[in-house]
Copies of this chain bind each other. A is one copy, B any other.
Amino acid sequence: MIILSKLADYGVIVAAHLAAHPDRQATAAAIAAATRLPPATVAKLLKALAHAGLVSATRGAAGGYRLGRLPAAISVAEVVAAIAGDIGMTQCSVHAEDCDRTNYCPTRPHWAAINRAVGAALSAISLDDMIGPMAFAPAIAAFAEPAAADSRI
């Protein structure tokens, strides 16, 4: 199973690229060239990010995109949410209303807890963290080591 959709993945790459060059204003085409992603798709992603207020766009000649905030102030969770919608492990985590088994399903509350954990993890990682060397929010690092456990991740 792939957790992030391709689009969300690309979105983070694009946002990270902008974060790496906070001074410059970049056009969609330039970003596409730099990241080797399809130009049309990059344009679409930037629209979504602009819609969410994460990047600001200026139109016209010499226009382009730039980050709306400092790279350290934008979390990966926000970027993903801007493109793929709200984050939730299960259907009922996001749209609880169209789950008709909330009453007797014993797994619900547990999923909710897992949701919070994953969400907190993604929220704790900023774009700054994504472009630098491995120096995460301690949370992730601490979380990653203990249970190597089974299952091929």
**Copies of the protein in its oligomer:** 2
A1 cross-chain contacts in B, Cβ below 8 A: 4-5, 8, 80-81, 83-88
- A120 pairs with B149, CB closer than 8 A: yes
A3 cross-chain contacts in B, Cβ below 8 A: 3, 87-90, 118
- Who on chain B is nearest to A152 by CB? B86
Q: Is A60 an interface residue (CB 8 A)?
A: no
- A151 pairs with B113, CB closer than 8 A: no
State the A residues within 8 Å of B (CB): 1-6, 8-9, 12-13, 16, 20, 35-36, 75, 77-78, 80-81, 83-91, 93-94, 100-101, 104-107, 109-110, 113-125, 129-131, 134, 136-137, 139-141, 143-153
